[in-house]
């Protein structure tokens, strides 16, 4: 534990070998920098690139393919040793399989690296600067160059660049909320006030913000050794949960691998017991594995996810981890911050009270006018006070900016008032210039008011105008009259009552209320030359005229209520977690719909029924506002109960640590939890969440590091668009997988029939690879562009235990129905090709051994013609090509039917997704190139096919389409029926 806060300045200078006036020498600083490393948080330990790469090489189906490749090489070795005629075929096959694994691995690695790079470049976008004294000179340095012993200067608005022991401070206040959760700015001075370094006032911590004042200090800790750094490294130890889509893909890989291995082993046994040679059986096994494994699918999934990630990035959701794209879609609870995410993070005037009436002001982001009634003379008076009794000013040179976007020098409330006045009255600075200020008492915490005295802009009126604003009750105390419709009326108890009611009402809305009053100083007592003295207050400060109230709030972003209601209809529970006061939190929650208008908290019910809180049936209350203090004393069960029983929950006055507790509580309910956060201390919660969402603007680097996603505009509504994209991609991945799995059966059946019926091989292993990695790739990616079939935001989030990506229905429908249809269609083509060349189907059965015998060169066909081995091989390749073409043609139909799972294709629109057509044309184009362009390269086993064979499978393609339309029709007609249960995937 450090005791730097106890040391005197001299001791510090000695300890760190520095001088307060001169700072470190550059050479010394460089030395320390070399020893301690840069002043930045080490990002969570990244997996070494090579490990990432190797993971891609063995992940998913790669193992199966490696097994296939090894088997190929083994059989090559055996054949070579036996001196067989063409052992090299197997060598090549092994090489091709290995290449497939390596290339898809490289591809996946590249995709992942690309999305990681986006993030890396993002975090480097804004390098922090620090003002340092080195070599007795003030220098601007990049903050990561700071070393222990450096003397740094900070001023209001800066982020503290390291842990700093203050040696000089002037009105310095820091916002420690990201560290301790305290939302009030903490004063900082040079005095040692507390034994605990975290509590003492003379240390400012890395990554907190200096809100106001200036200070100078010695850097005592940098980088990971800072207090924040230690917390952040703690956070990185919170394990990363597997994303839902990763679980789904794993499930799918297991399923397909299970099918591949069981069929492979089964047929290995069958072929051995059918007295095939072991070597042949192994080669069959390879074929079965290759046919069963959708080699291109994982790459396709990656591409689809990154396409969605790109789309989301356009909508301001930057996804760090590709898989998080889908996680957002399955989110069932969002724990959202209030400030900045749900709200605009800017005080804005929300209500006014004058003439005994409450007026609402426009609080939207881009207000240009205010609609409330401004005809009353009271308003004129009030607006004058608002304009004049205000120290905030626009930074010069922003005349062309919209008022709401201009930068203001001044505190939040004054800024709000300034902008409010500017919107209504225009050119406030000019008004102030015309009403010259002669005296001013700024706001302080004892007076709780602010006062100024002005000349008026009316040349005939020589009176001074005294304007005052402050805490309403204090202002009222100083008033004896109240302005009603421009007339001063005595402030009787009735009027005071009205004031109280209005004040309570505005305060009850969680708004910060200010009272305004004025007084025209009589000309005879206060002539032109009257010397106003603010210290002795030689002017009246009581018996003023009360004019009105203004209340301010950090208003919700205008897009948020809509987004929250979308979440609600999408079955997503939005929980607000904020450090703010419960009343403000509840007010904002109500105004954005997190607590709906009709629902009540336990306290509301108690108030309505006029009974003690304890007697209320807790189940009747749908909403709950939980205070951080209550949460502290709660057992896990109690927390679970709250999370379970209330659909609308607000956690107020919570510390960032409690966020983690809340997230864990939600996860115990089986929910997929999204968490938004910006502070360093949010990072454990962000990590723990199924998807952590960091704020791009307000977020700290640690938060961004821990998060899976970064909201570039800090806007809650962006999350909702992300949810929509996530759900869409889940649906579309289902379609992609269904599409891809289907043809696996058409690739597998040939092997099975070849083994059982001993016909000439209908399709080659290489040909299969050309389908999986050639013709099918673009179409399956094209399905990622498919529009949603229905309003996906009206559905509940998927249940991660029940709604699997690849469910039984999908596998069965693809494998046993459409897949079998495809196989039949392809076999018709196969038999047609052979029959038209002289081998009738009956001749083909049981012919395998002789057919493949190299020595038999007078093989007789059904017509008595005799074929040499090579002529037969060529015919066999023609068969491969025909089978390939048939599968391709039927895959076109498969692609079209996969556009929808429930709706008719005609409802979905055949041409709405243009990319599908790109897919279809690419598919046919690639097939044409392979068949006619590469048909003469014998190693690829393609031959130029007679053109009519392209159409043999067309009836089956049509059948697939019609059958699927019928399937969908029945599903739509008879929801919940046997058909629906078994056929809807």
Partner 1 sequence: ENKHEEKVQNPNREEDKTKAEMGSKTWADLAGEMKMFLWNPEERTCLGRTAKSWGLILLFYFIFYTCLAGMFAFCMYVMLLTLSPYTPTYRDRVSPPGVMIRPYLNGFTIAFNISQPSTWQPYVDSMHHFLAAYDDKVQEEKNIECVSGQYFIQGGNESEEKKACQFKRSLLQNCSGIEDPTFGYSKGQPCIGEAARPWHCISYKPGCLLFLQIIGYRPGAGVPVSVDCKVQKGNESNLRSVDFYPGNGTFDLMYYPYYGKMTHVNYTSPLVAMHFTDVKKNYLVPIQCSLNGKGIINDVNSDRFLGRIIFTLSIGK
CA–CA gap between residue 95 and residue 774 (Å, rounded): 17
Q: Does 831 bind partner 1 (CB under 8 A)?
A: yes
Least distance (Å) between residue 831 CB and partner 1: 6
CA–CA gap between residue 954 and residue 50 (Å, rounded): 47
State the Cα angle at 411 between 407 and 414, rounded to 5°.
Answer: 85
Q: Is 116 left (phi over 0), alpha (psi -120 to 50) or beta?
A: alpha
- For residue 446, how many other CB atoms are within 10 A of its CB? 5
Q: Which two tokens stand for residue 224?
A: 């990971």
Complex with partner 1: residue 380 or 669, whichever CB lies closer: 669
Are 512 and 588 a contacting pair, CB within 8 Å? no
Complex with partner 1: residue 488 or 640, whichever CB lies closer: 640
For 59-162, list the strands marked E by DSSP. 129-134, 137-142, 151-155
Least distance (Å) between residue 978 CB and partner 1: 6
For 268-413, list the strands marked E by DSSP. 317-319, 333-336, 348-354, 357-360, 393-394, 408-409
Q: Which stretch binds partner 1 (CB under 8 A): 20-28, 223-231, 534-542, 869-877?
A: 869-877
Q: Does 883 bind partner 1 (CB under 8 A)?
A: no
What is the x/- site pattern for partner 1, positions 951-970, by CB under 8 A? Answer: ----xx--x-----------
Question: Please, which of residues 446-475 interact with partner 1 by CB under 8 A?
Answer: none
Least distance (Å) between residue 176 CB and partner 1: 34
Complex with partner 1: residue 120 or 966, whichever CB lies closer: 966
Complex with partner 1: residue 537 or 644, whichever CB lies closer: 644
Which of the residues 150, 158, 163, 337 is marked catalytic?
337
What lies within 8 Å, CB to CB, of 147 at 6+ separation is 24, 29, 32, 33, 36, 39, 219, 222
Q: Does 946 bind partner 1 (CB under 8 A)?
A: yes
Q: Does 944 bind partner 1 (CB under 8 A)?
A: no
Least distance (Å) between residue 800 CB and partner 1: 10
Least distance (Å) between residue 821 CB and partner 1: 6
- How many C-alpha atoms does 709 have within 13 Å on its Cβ side? 36
Complex with partner 1: residue 431 or 820, whichever CB lies closer: 820
Residues listed for the chain: 985
Q: Does 871 bind partner 1 (CB under 8 A)?
A: yes
Complex with partner 1: residue 302 or 881, whichever CB lies closer: 881
What is the x/- site pattern for partner 1, positions 715-754, by CB under 8 A? Answer: ----------------------------------------
Q: Does 642 bind partner 1 (CB under 8 A)?
A: no
Contact with partner 1 (CB under 8 A): which of 870, 921, 951, 974?
870
Q: Does 83 bind partner 1 (CB under 8 A)?
A: no
Contact with partner 1 (CB under 8 A): which of 195, 477, 525, 836?
836
Burial class (CB in 10 A: 0-12, 13-18, 19+), 711: buried
The candidate with the shortest Cα–Cα distance to 895, out of 920, 924, 878, is: 920
Least distance (Å) between residue 319 CB and partner 1: 25
Are 738 and 985 a contacting pair, CB within 8 Å? yes
State the Cα angle at 44 between 39 and 47, rounded to 5°.
Answer: 125
Q: Does 936 bind partner 1 (CB under 8 A)?
A: no
Q: Could you say which DSSP state residue 185 is in?
A: P
Assess whether 89 carries a catalytic annotation.
no
Complex with partner 1: residue 677 or 760, whichever CB lies closer: 760
Contact with partner 1 (CB under 8 A): which of 644, 697, 757, 849?
644
Give the helix/strand (H/E) hosting 754.
Answer: helix 716-757
Complex with partner 1: residue 546 or 956, whichever CB lies closer: 956
Complex with partner 1: residue 365 or 803, whichever CB lies closer: 803
Are 466 and 358 a contacting pair, CB within 8 Å? no
Burial class (CB in 10 A: 0-12, 13-18, 19+), 522: exposed
Strand partners, 626: 651
The candidate with the shortest Cα–Cα distance to 652, out of 571, 731, 590, is: 590
Question: Please, which of residues 130-169 interact with partner 1 by CB under 8 A?
Answer: none
Q: Does 634 bind partner 1 (CB under 8 A)?
A: no
Contact with partner 1 (CB under 8 A): which of 25, 129, 142, 817?
817
Contact with partner 1 (CB under 8 A): which of 189, 862, 903, 908?
862
For 544-672, list the strands marked E by DSSP. 544-553, 573-577, 623-627, 648-652
Complex with partner 1: residue 555 or 764, whichever CB lies closer: 764
Q: Does 238 bind partner 1 (CB under 8 A)?
A: no
Contact with partner 1 (CB under 8 A): which of 837, 886, 900, 923?
837
Least distance (Å) between residue 637 CB and partner 1: 6
Least distance (Å) between residue 795 CB and partner 1: 23
CA–CA gap between residue 905 and residue 890 (Å, rounded): 16
Contact with partner 1 (CB under 8 A): which of 16, 276, 813, 827?
827
Q: Does 668 bind partner 1 (CB under 8 A)?
A: yes
CA–CA gap between residue 387 and residue 500 (Å, rounded): 25
Q: At what angle do helices 88-123 and 49-58 cross, to 10 degrees?
A: 140
Write out the DSSP string of 419-451.
HHHHHHHS-HHHHHHHS-EEEEE---TTT-EEE
Q: Which stretch binds partner 1 (CB under 8 A): 270-278, 372-380, 737-745, 832-840?
A: 832-840
Q: Is 213 left (phi over 0), alpha (psi -120 to 50) or beta?
A: left
- How many C-alpha atoms does 228 have within 13 Å on its Cβ side? 34
Please give, one letter per residue, the 3-state secondary structure of 241-281. Answer: CCCHHHHHHHHHHHHHHHHHHHHHHHHHHHHHHCCCCHHHH
Q: Which stretch binds partner 1 (CB under 8 A): 53-61, 206-214, 472-480, 833-841?
A: 833-841
Least distance (Å) between residue 268 CB and partner 1: 23
Burial class (CB in 10 A: 0-12, 13-18, 19+), 253: buried
Beta strand 512-521 pairing with 544-553:
antiparallel
What lies within 8 Å, CB to CB, of 551 at 6+ separation is 349, 350, 351, 352, 353, 506, 507, 509, 511, 512, 513, 514
Complex with partner 1: residue 466 or 952, whichever CB lies closer: 952
Least distance (Å) between residue 812 CB and partner 1: 9
Q: Does 254 bind partner 1 (CB under 8 A)?
A: no
Least distance (Å) between residue 935 CB and partner 1: 14
Contact with partner 1 (CB under 8 A): which of 858, 906, 947, 976?
858
**How many binding residues for partner 1 (CB under 8 A)?**
48
What lies within 8 Å, CB to CB, of 414 at 6+ separation is 390, 391, 392, 408
Q: Which stretch binds partner 1 (CB under 8 A): 3-11, 12-20, 310-318, 822-830?
A: 822-830
Contact with partner 1 (CB under 8 A): which of 417, 875, 885, 945?
875
Contact with partner 1 (CB under 8 A): which of 20, 63, 131, 820?
820
Contact with partner 1 (CB under 8 A): which of 816, 849, 966, 969?
816
Q: Could you say which DSSP state residue 343 is in?
A: B
Q: Does 250 bind partner 1 (CB under 8 A)?
A: no
- How many C-alpha atoms does 940 have within 13 Å on its Cβ side? 19
Least distance (Å) between residue 670 CB and partner 1: 6
Least distance (Å) between residue 813 CB and partner 1: 11
Q: Does 828 bind partner 1 (CB under 8 A)?
A: yes
Are 312 and 325 a contacting pair, CB within 8 Å? yes
Active-site positions read: 337
Interacting residues with partner 1 (CB under 8 A)? 636-637, 640-641, 644, 668-670, 801, 816-817, 820-821, 824, 827-828, 831-832, 835-838, 840-841, 855, 857-858, 861-871, 874-875, 878, 938, 946, 955-956, 959, 978, 982
């Amino acid at each position: 534990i450090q005791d730097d806060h106890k040391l005197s300045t001299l001791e510090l200078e000695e300890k760190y070998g520095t001088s307060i006036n001169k700072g470190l020498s550059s050479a010394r600083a460089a030395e320390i920098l070399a020893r301690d490393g840069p002043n930045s948080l080490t990002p969570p330990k990244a997996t070494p690139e090579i490990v990432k790469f190797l993971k891609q090489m063995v992940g998913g189906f790669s193992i199966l393919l490696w097994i296939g490749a090894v088997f190929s090489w083994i059989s090559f070795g055996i054949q070579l040793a036996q001196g067989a005629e063409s052992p090299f075929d197997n060598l090549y096959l092994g090489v091709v399989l290995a290449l497939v694994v390596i290339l898809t691995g490289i591809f996946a690695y590249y995709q992942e690296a690309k999305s990681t790079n986006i993030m890396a470049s993002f975090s480097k976008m804004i390098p922090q600067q620090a003002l340092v004294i080195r070599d007795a000179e003030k220098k601007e340095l990049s903050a990561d160059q700071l070393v222990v012993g450096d003397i740094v200067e900070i001023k209001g608005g800066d982020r503290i660049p390291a842990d700093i022991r203050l040696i000089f401070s002037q009105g310095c206040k820091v916002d420690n909320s990201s560290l301790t959760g305290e939302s009030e700015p903490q004063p900082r001075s040079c005095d040692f006030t507390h034994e605990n370094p975290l509590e003492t006032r003379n240390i400012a911590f890395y990554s907190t913000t200096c809100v106001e004042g200036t200070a100078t200090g010695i850097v005592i800790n940098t980088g990971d050794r800072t207090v924040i750094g230690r917390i952040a490294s703690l956070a990185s130890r919170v394990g990363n949960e597997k994303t839902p889509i990763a679980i789904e893909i794993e499930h799918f890989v297991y399923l397909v691998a299970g099918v591949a291995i069981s069929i492979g082993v089964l047929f290995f046994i069958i072929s051995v017991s059918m007295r095939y040679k072991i070597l042949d059986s192994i080669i069959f096994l390879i074929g079965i594995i290759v046919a069963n494994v959708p080699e291109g699918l994982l790459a396709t999934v990656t591409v689809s996810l990154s396409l969605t990630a790109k789309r989301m990035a356009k909508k301001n959701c930057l996804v760090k981890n590709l898989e998080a794209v889908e996680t957002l879609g399955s989110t069932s609870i969002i724990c959202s911050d209030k400030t900045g995410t749900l709200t605009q993070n800017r005080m804005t005037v929300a209500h006014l009270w004058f003439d005994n009436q409450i007026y609402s002001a426009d609080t939207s982001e881009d207000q240009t006018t205010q609609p409330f009634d401004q005809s009353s003379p009271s308003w004129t008076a009030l607006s004058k006070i608002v304009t004049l009794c205000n120290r905030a000013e626009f930074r010069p040179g922003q005349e062309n900016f919209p008022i709401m976007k201009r930068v203001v020098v001044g505190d939040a409330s004054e800024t709000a008032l300034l902008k409010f006045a500017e919107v209504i009255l225009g050119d406030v600075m000019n008004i102030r210039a015309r009403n010259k200020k002669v005296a001013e008492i700024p706001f302080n915490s004892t007076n709780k008011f602010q006062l100024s005295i002005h000349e008026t802009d009316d040349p005939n009126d020589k009176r001074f105008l005294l304007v005052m604003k402050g805490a309403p009750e204090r202002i009222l105390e100083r008033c004896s009259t109240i302005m009603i419709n421009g007339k001063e009326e005595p402030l009787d108890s009735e009027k005071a009552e009205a004031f109280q009611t209005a004040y309570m009402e505005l305060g009850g809305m969680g708004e910060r209320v200010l009272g305004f009053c004025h007084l025209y100083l009589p000309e005879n007592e206060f002539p032109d030359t009257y010397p106003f003295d603010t210290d002795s207050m030689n002017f009246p400060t009581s018996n003023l005229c009360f004019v009105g109230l203004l209340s301010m709030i950090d208003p919700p972003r205008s897009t948020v209520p809509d987004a929250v209601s979308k979440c609600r209809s999408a079955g997503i529970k939005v929980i607000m977690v904020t450090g703010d006061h419960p009343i403000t939190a509840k007010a904002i929650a109500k105004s954005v719909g997190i607590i709906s208008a009709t629902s009540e908290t336990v306290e509301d019910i108690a108030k309505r029924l006029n009974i003690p809180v304890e007697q209320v049936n807790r189940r009747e209350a749908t909403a709950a506002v939980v205070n951080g203090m209550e949460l502290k004393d709660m057992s896990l069960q109690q927390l679970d109960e709250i999370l379970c029983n209330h659909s609308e929950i607000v956690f107020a006055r919570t510390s960032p640590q409690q966020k983690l507790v809340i997230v864990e509580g939600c996860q115990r309910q089986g929910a997929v939890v999204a968490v938004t956060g910006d502070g360093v201390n949010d990072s454990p919660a962000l990590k723990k969440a199924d998807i952590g969402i960091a704020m791009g603007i307000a977020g700290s680097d640690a938060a961004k590091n821990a998060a899976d996603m970064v909201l570039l505009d800090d806007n809650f509504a962006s999350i909702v668009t992300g949810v929509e994209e996530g759900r869409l991609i889940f649906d579309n991945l289902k379609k992609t997988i269904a599409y891809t799995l289907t043809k696996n059966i058409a690739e597998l059946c040939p092997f099975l029939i070849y083994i059982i019926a001993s016909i000439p091989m209908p399709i080659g292993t290489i040909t299969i690879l050309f389908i999986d990695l050639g013709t099918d790739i673009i179409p399956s990616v094209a399905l990622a562009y498919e529009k949603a079939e229905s309003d996906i935001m009206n559905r509940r989030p998927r249940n991660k235990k029940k709604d699997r990506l690849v469910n039984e229905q999908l596998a069965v429908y693809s494998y046993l129905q459409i897949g079998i249809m495809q196989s039949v269609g392809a076999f018709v083509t196969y038999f047609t090709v052979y029959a038209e060349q002289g081998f009738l189907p009956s001749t083909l059965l049981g012919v395998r051994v002789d057919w493949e015998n190299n020595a038999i060169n007078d093989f007789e066909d059904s017509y008595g013609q005799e074929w040499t081995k090579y002529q037969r091989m060529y015919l066999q390749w023609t068969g491969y090509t025909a089978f390939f073409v048939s599968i391709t043609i039927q895959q076109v139909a498969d692609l079209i039917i996969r556009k929808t799972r429930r709706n008719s294709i005609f409802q979905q629109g055949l041409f709405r997704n243009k990319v599908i057509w790109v897919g279809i044309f690419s598919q046919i184009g690639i097939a044409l190139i392979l068949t006619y362009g590469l048909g003469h390269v014998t190693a690829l086993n393609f031959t130029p096919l007679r053109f009519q064979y392209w159409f043999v499978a067309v009836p089956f393609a049509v059948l697939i389409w019609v059958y699927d339309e019928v399937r969908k029709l029945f599903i739509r007609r008879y929801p919940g029926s046997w058909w629906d249960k078994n056929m809807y995937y």
